[in-house]
Amino acid sequence: MTHKFLILLSGATLALAACGKHDNATTGGADTGNATDVNAMASDNGMAANSAATAPAPTTAQAFVNAAAASDRFEIESSKLAQGSASSSAVKKFAAQMISAHTASTAKLKGTIAGLNPPLTADDTLAPDQQQTLDSLKGLNGAAFDSAYAQAQQEAHQKTLDALKTYSSSGDNAALKSFASGMIPTVTAHLNLAKGLK
């Protein structure tokens, strides 16, 4: 049961971690990369709407950290696939932004957990549903890939957004609650961008 819970949490936190890079840009802090493009595109696409099913969100520090790390890994790996398999220039641009954002959020997460006492170690093992989605994307190209990738990004970012909101309000670690709270605007922006890929 714990394994199933961590799998669901990993999916939810996947988007969370991926969006870490643009957290500073969304909240007015320093940032690098394509934060301006991401935020501008998010504004054009409007607010994110709720997606279908929501997975239980992590409430323990270790579960949250693992889910966030797996989320980043999923975003990076799926977006690398998009660089070679997508036909849409918009999808390729989004994928490049996700690679950059999730690489940065992984670094931010590692910095946060290194400061904990005792420090935690993130396990970025993909949840079975994440691995299944990644495997299914590997067999696609062109417009079929674009559509499947866009859908996967929407679902992952919605799950992550839900996990962030839950952990920020009821998590068991103050530093990670702050991390989660700060990620909400960024993940919302990424979710809006993903919805605009259709």
What CATH number does the domain containing 103 carry? 1.20.1260.10
Is 39 a member of any domain? no
HSE value, Cβ hemisphere, 13 Å, CA-based, for 2: 4
Residue 45 included in any domain? no
Termini Cα distance of the chain: 35
Phi, psi torsion values for 141, nearest 5 degrees = -145, 160
Report helix, strand and coil shares of the chain as percent, to nearest 5. 75, 0, 25
Angle, alpha carbons 183-5-136 (nearest 5°) = 80
Give the chain's length: 198
Examine the pLDDT at 1 and tell me if it is beyond 80. no
Query: Which ranges constitute the DSSP H helices of 19-141?
Result: 23-27, 35-45, 61-85, 89-114, 128-138
163 occurs within a structural domain = yes
SS3 119: coil
From CA 33, how far away is CA 29, in angstroms rounded? 13
Average pLDDT score, the chain: 78
Query: How many whole angstroms separate alpha carbon 91 and alpha carbon 15?
Result: 16
What pLDDT score does 58 carry?
78
Q: What is the pLDDT of residues 63-121, one digit of tens each?
A: 999 999 999 999 999 999 999 999 999 999 999 999 999 999 999 999 999 999 988 99
On the question of pLDDT at 14 being above 80, the answer is no
pLDDT for 56 equals 62
Q: Is residue 34 part of a domain?
A: no
- Which residue is listed with tokens 């994110």? 48
Number of domains observed in the structure of the chain: 1
Answer whether residue 187 shows pLDDT above 80: yes
Residue 110 lies in a domain: yes
* CA-to-CA separations, 159 to 15, 119, 122, 141, 184, in angstroms, rounded: 7, 26, 19, 25, 12
Q: Identify whether 118 is preceded by a cis peptide bond (ω within 30 of 0).
A: yes
In a domain? residue 46: no
Q: So what's the pLDDT on residue 59?
A: 78
Kindly state whether residue 2 falls inside one of the protein's structural domains.
Answer: no
Assess whether pLDDT exceeds 80 at residue 138.
Answer: yes
Residue 116 lies in a domain: yes
Question: What phi and psi, each to the nearest 5 degrees, are found at residue 58?
Answer: -70, 140
Q: Write out pLDDT tens, residues 40-78.
A: 333 333 333 333 344 566 779 999 999 999 999 999 999
Residue numbers of the domain that contains 86: 7-22+58-195
Q: pTM of the prediction?
A: 0.72
